[in-house]
Chain A
Amino acid sequence: MATVSANPARAEASSTARALREAVFAGIIAFGLFVLYVGLKTDQNISNELILVQRWGLLAIFVGVAMVARFIGVLYVQPFLKRRRTAKSEASDLELQPSYFRRNFSTIAIIALVLYPPLMVALFGTQGSLKWVDNFGIQILIYVMLAWGLNIVVGLAGLLDLGYVAFYAVGAYSYALLSTHLGLSFWVLLPLSGLLAAVWGMVLGFPVLRLRGDYLAIVTLAFGEIIRLVLINWTDVTQGTFGVSGVAKASIFGIYSFDVGAANNFAKVWGLPMSAAYYKIFLFYVILALALLTAFVTIRLRRMPVGRAWEALREDEIACRSLGINTVTTKLTAFATGAMFGGFAGSFFAARQGFVSPESFVFLESAVILAIVVLGGMGSLVGIAVAAVLMIGGTEILRELTFLKAVFGPDFTPELYRMLIFGLAMVVVMVLKPRGFVGSREPSAFLHERKSVSSSFTKEGHG
């Protein structure tokens, strides 16, 4: 009896010791990582001199958080995960029926999105809903749409494109310039800017078709930068870094306008108090419709020969050619289709901001969009949408976390740690789910029953 009861006790003691040891290691690593970034800070004093601010307290909190987290992780979370994994593998022979929520996730999500603006108005009032509809709703949906557009190029066709933001810029500038110079409306310019972006997609796609893998990635990255530099330097047309301001707002198909002075102003016609919220709510529904259009077209295309050819191209290009598929046109259509949706999103962005400048189209944007696609699971629309909500919503929510000031002191601004958390989240997801949130692939056709394809069989593509 004594030995039986002693063993678990000793095991527990040894695991506590191990957790302590791991916590100390984590503390040392955290100290090494943060000592220069958090512990020391350069600042300017009143007489414009550079001074070194020492923040040892903040550093101690960071190291402390890392140690505690590691301790809890090793002692409680790891055994819990292990238990759950064994329980899962034992239960695997049982018929696992996905829950109702899981099965109808897309429908529920779409209904929730349609109801989102009225709900926010009900909760926070007309003016208070502005932040939730604009900063969260519209911002996230723009990235969802961009990521779904890039998904066609990267996720389906397997062509690594690091310059996707170029097409976003083409769309935004097409709308901004054509509407200010020619006075065309949003609804005319939306398809036009998509078309222009698609043409640019082909123009840029054509010379890089012979490149594969890393080489393709580098060249697309360069093209993205070239477009941005052209926008900065071609000042006669784009007004350089000053950007194009006073871009016309979108209207409800010309029936109601959102310009304050117009006779058919939406709020005026309906006798509502003046507020910017109506325009934002309208824009929310526009971008929702555009994003759903992207999803619809992607789903449709996947079941068509061209969509299958994209996926086949990702799997094996030589086999594609042996089956009589023209890989040049197939790649170009992937580039053009992806660019078109980038262009739609771009013209929407210009209408929403009322201002475009090259600042908005830096490489970091391409990287964020690509990160969303990879995190979501390449090729999976639901996974990508979830990843966009987490990444963009997560960075936006940092602004709201004012209570953290109570922990880290009044000088603490959570937004500044955006990139740190971003990187951490990436590492965690890649360790736990290397193929993204949704790693499996839904087949486009089936004979007997639809079975999703495990990620161990699909390839990422080589260019």
Chain B
Amino acid sequence: MASAPTTKAAAGAAAQDPILKVEHLSMRFGGLMAINDLSFECRRGDITALIGPNGAGKTTVFNCITGFYKPTMGMMTLRQKGGQDYLLERLADFEITKRAKVARTFQNIRLFTGLTVLENLLVAQHNALMRASGYTILGLFGFPAYRKASKESIELARYWLDKASLTERADDPAGDLPYGAQRRLEIARAMCTGPELLCLDEPAAGLNPRESLALNTLLQGIRADTGTSILLIEHDMSVVMEISDHVVVLEYGQKISDGTPDFVKNDPKVIAAYLGVEDDEVEEVIAEVEEVAHEVEGGQK
């Protein structure tokens, strides 16, 4: 927990080993196939962006990774720095944060509005503080170990408040913050759990250009200082193209493109998915997509 800010893992030196491997992930809601046989990888220390038109299944992928949904099929492997592997589909949602060290934020901000900004960050350090307080019992009798841990937790919170430029508002209720600050606070709160993989669901939604610039700086700072890998869903292309190292494009629950931002930007399938195509090109595109689908299937066999 306290080691997160101090481990200055150089992002550039990160080996090409994947932190998260998603294989053949499928999620079915009744008759609706929200995700259909999706496979992709997030490399350690990278910022991976998951994009796609509305309803493409991006948030469903997130909910599967963070345990809020149990996928119908597929395997999601998270490999920590120490080399331990966690199969995320087998863990309960809170254990994914606690043991596998995956933190997430939400598309519609979920802060503890009645708690202060500082308290929000302290709640995020629950598990570390629980251990330090001897599962409440030692802390209740005022053991010094807990007091020390409590001080450290406030220091860690202060560190992330500085990063998110929220130190001034530390003692205000979280519900009182402006929208952009609430977004930053949610990211800071997720970072206080000491994650190895940070999942952000549309962090730039509703931000003005200045705020989304500040967000870019915050995210790049997180990666540079802590070596945390980031997986994000985003519609704001200025954020995606600016900061991500690797982009995965979804449409109708299937992967249609996967590569560097520049590669994805010029991929005709992506352009077709986002902008639509002329009527006379439809068949051509369908044929192309089918061809790709066959290739993918062939590759799997």
Contacts and interface: CB of A to CB of B under 8 A. Distances in A.
Contact of A319 (B112, B139, B157, B158): B112
Interface string B120-136: 00111111011001001
Given A309-B126, A443-B116, A445-B154, A321 B111 contact: no
Contacts of B96: 324
B75 interface: no
Nearest to B174: A457
B8 interface: no
B113 A322 contact: no
B225 interface: no
B202 to A, nearest CB: 15
A154 interface: no
Given A305-B136, A447-B170, A449-B171, A323 B97 contact: yes
Interface residues of B, number: 49
A444 B96 CA distance: 27
Given A451-B172, A454-B173, A324 B127 contact: yes
Given A319-B110, A324-B193, A446-B171, A305 B118 contact: no
A306 interface: yes
A324 B189 CA distance: 12
By CB atoms of chain B within 10 A, which of A321, A322, A444 has the most? A322
B104 interface: yes
Interface string A315-327: 1101111111111
Contacts of A456: 175
A451 B193 CA distance: 25
A441 interface: yes
A82 interface: no
A300 interface: yes
B118 A316 contact: no
Contacts of B176: 457
B172 to A, nearest CB: 7
Interface in A277-303: 297, 300-301, 303
A contact residues, range: 35 or more
Contacts of A315: 111-115
A304 interface: yes
Interface string A430-459: 000000000001011111111101101111
A305 B130 contact: yes
B234 interface: no
B103 interface: yes
A377 to B, nearest CB: 13
Given A323-B123, A327-B94, A311 B130 contact: no
Interface string B62-80: 0000101000000000000
Nearest to A448: B171
A443 B103 contact: no
B167 interface: yes
Contacts of B115: 308, 311-312, 315, 443, 453
B110 A322 contact: yes
A445 B129 CA distance: 14
Contacts of B97: 321-324
Interface of B: 66, 68, 93-98, 103-104, 106, 110-116, 118-119, 122-127, 129-130, 133, 136, 139-140, 146, 150, 154, 157-158, 161, 167, 170-176, 189-190, 193
Q: Which 5 A-B pairs have the closest CB atoms?
A: A458-B114, A324-B97, A324-B98, A315-B112, A457-B175
Interface of A: 297, 300-301, 303-306, 308-309, 311-312, 314-316, 318-327, 333, 441, 443-451, 453-454, 456-459
